[in-house]
Amino acid sequence: MPTRSFPAVPRPQAAIPAGREYHAACRPRRFALWLILLGCVLLAGAWAATAHHADILLWLSGSQSSLTDWVEVWPVAAAAVYVLVVTVGKVTPFPGGFLLMFTGGFLFGPELGAVLSAVGSAFSAVMIAALGRRLFYQPIHRLWGERLASVAPTVTANGFHFILAARLFPLVPAWAVNVVPVIFRIPLNRVLLATFLGLLPLSFVVATLGHQVSGIAAAGEVALRDVLTPQLLLALAALAALALLAPLLRARHARS
């Protein structure tokens, strides 16, 4: 007995909730609002630090005896507070990074001051990367994902070396280096280590200068551009080139 075939009944598709369509349409607006808000916060922080730089230096100078006494009595707590101050201070484009490194050398000595300053800067870089990915990674890749896809594997695989080289050479803007792990998923532990190692040499130079002066007020007489002599820049550029040697050799080996 021949079997009868019945036409296939199309399955009903689940309707997309109106709320989901609304949220999808609002994502570009939210992204723009976050960008505007973040820009305002960064500009406000930079303006406040610039406008009140002299007041901050004056307060540090007037409180240096209390600060040094506190470091002697509670060295661990003082070191932890200093790292916290550096971490928060480096989140914004704070133009007093030199003052922070200088003060670390004055309070803790060149070796420990440089290490603590580099640790705080590394924590700040990880904080910026984690928060930036949370807020901006998906919107950025929705807009420019196709353009970034060609370089993403290379940057992600060699992210440690790229960040290390950029941190070693102080003429590279810190904000530009901070953006890289936001756009590309470089592991945060590599961001932490590369930032720490990359900032350690310059931190040591500035901390040594801070250790040699008689008071924190001397920081107002010296600027970072005075420390960045051609000899120091040449040495840091050589270290940055060495940091890029591994990815360059890896790329050459892959082509051959």
The answer to whether residues 201 and 239 touch, using CB atoms and an 8 Å cutoff, is: yes
Residue found under tokens 């931190």: 203
Minimal CA–CA distance to 128: which of 18, 41, 47, 254?
41
pLDDT tier at 62 (50, 70, 90 boundaries)?
low
The dihedral over CA atoms of 55, 58, 60, 66, expressed in degrees to the nearest 10, equals -130
Distance between CA atoms of residues 111 and 105, nearest Å: 8
pLDDT score of 120 more than 50? yes
Please report, for the chain, the start and end positions of each structural domain, with discontinuous segments joined by +: 20-255
Q: Residue 52's pLDDT is what?
A: 47
- In the DSSP assignment, the letter for residue 214 is S
| Average pLDDT score over residue span 184-208 | 95
Lowest mean pLDDT of 34-43, 106-115, 140-149, 179-188, name the range: 34-43
**pLDDT of amino acid 169:** 94
Percent above pLDDT 90 for the chain = 39
- 116/211 Cα distance (integer angstroms): 14
Confidence of residue 190 (pLDDT cuts 50, 70, 90): very high
Tell the residue number behind the tokens 């808000």, with chain if given: 37
Q: How confident is the model at residue 16 (pLDDT cuts 50, 70, 90)?
A: very low
